[in-house]
Structure 1
């Protein structure tokens, strides 16, 4: 019986030592022989917009609300017909605002103001200038835009993310080389969002304040290059954070 009693702690001791010697796993996924390196990088991609979006409408005045509204209905009907004749599909014209109000100040005090604004999407950017010309020729006197867009904005953003990751990888390789180490694996990738032109690309950081549209009277609008809309290039800029595990060479 005494021998049996002494054998119990002898068997238990190796188990206790093994438990004390095992390290808890690192929640970041780094092994004991590795070093964590966290890198932030940005990437860009340029894409030519292929769509144009603008808002256009008519504003009328009258001695009564009924007179202003009647004139506005007639003018907006002519505007819509002109847009459709210029090749804008009906599904790409959407009413945004219909307003009527009594004016209580200025030279028109006591009159009524009626307005109707529509949003127009031109899916072939080469036809955008013709659509604007058709609208103004039909009597449009209020306009904002254009906002130049891409049919597939995600493709441009993905190209920028690929560039951002490649930049992060190159930076990590430079750090590793300086430390006499090499990259063993990627532990974590975080999308930090970015911008595509004036539009925010969702990510892990809060978006900037929204930009307010600028509406101007067409008569006062200065059109560059004779009124021709120039699509140019839209730059997508994004950021990523990548955690790498480094090991000794």
Structure 2
């Protein structure tokens, strides 16, 4: 139910209790009827964003980097072979850090180095997401790391417009109702602000390892909502 507040631009025979769930303020900055409207549009995602990469550990930095590079080359090749364009593959982070272990609960000993290389891949054929995950896990082997997949809309502008229209209509209807209850005429809007937008669907996956014959990975994008909220202020005539 939209939240609303109202205050008169001229003296009115009314009290704060005259309009339920309303707030009255005599400050000229907040003169008028203030309301909040919300618009929602349900959409089916048409893009999957896969967060994946490799992680290698070895006795030396050079060895760990070499193993990670070889595995990542295979992962990238698998992505491209399964329809992911080069422009849709982007490095997220690359880390090299030492790995230490406590000995006799008294001191730390350096046992090697770990290299992590993660990328994001935009999959435009959502139905192929599960198959691509399988191919990537197979290509990278035990060094493969898949952190998750999210689903979004490549061009949400048309859905934003639809949600915005609904939010404005919702706010106007509430303002008109408040004006009628207060016995005043609703004037023109003098303030509008907007917030909200598309919230991607996120799926978390445990680390995947290659090798062996595994059943296909099921991926379901489902539906999501684009929600926009507007706050409007109307003059009182």
Structure 1 residues 139-166: Cα deviation after superposition (integer angstroms, max 9, x where no partner): 2521122121111123222222211111
When you count helix as a share of all residues, which structure comes out higher?
1
- CA–CA distance in structure 2, aligned partners of residues 123 and 179 of structure 1: 52
- 2:198 aligned with 1:196: yes
1:54–1:37 Cα change, 3 Å: same
TM-score, length-scaled by structure 2: 0.72
1:120 aligns with 2:121: yes
Q: 1:99 — aligned with what?
A: 95
In structure 2, relative to structure 1, the CA distance for the partners of 1:72 and 1:190 (3 Å cut) is closer
Indicate the structure with greater strand content: 2
The whole-number CA distance in structure 2 between the counterparts of 1:47 and 1:60 is 39
Asked if 1:186 corresponds to 2:182, the answer is: no
Q: 1:73 aligns with which of 69, 74, 78?
A: 69
Local SS of the residue matching 2:111 = coil
State the alpha-carbon separation in 1 of the partners of residues 102 and 52 from structure 2: 25
Residue by residue, what CA displacement relative to the aligned partner does 1:80-135 show, whole Å, maximum 9, x if unpaired? 11111111111111222233333112699512222221211112212222221111
Please, which of 162, 167, 171 is the counterpart of residue 165 of structure 2? 162
Structure 1, unmatched stretches of 5+, are 1-29, 200-210, 220-224
The separation in 1 between residues aligned to 2:76 and 2:112, in whole angstroms, is 26
TM-score normalized with structure 1 length? 0.69
User: Does residue 47 of structure 2 align to residue 51 of structure 1?
Assistant: yes
The verdict on how the C-alpha distance between 1:106 and 1:42 changes in structure 2, with shifts beyond 3 A counting, is farther
- 1-side partners of 2:82 and 2:161: how far apart? 34
**Larger of the two Rg values belongs to structure:** 1
For the aligned residue pairs, the C-alpha RMSD in angstroms reads 3.2
Aligned length: 200
Give deviations 1:12-56, integer Å, cap 9, x for gaps.
Answer: xxxxxxxxxxxxxxxxxx6999x9322122221221111111221
Q: Aligned residue for 1:233?
A: 223
Gaps of 5+ in 2: 1-8, 13-30, 104-108, 210-214
Map of 1:9-48 to 2, 5 A cutoff? 36-48=32-44
Whether contact under 8 Å (2:131, 2:216) holds in the other structure is: no
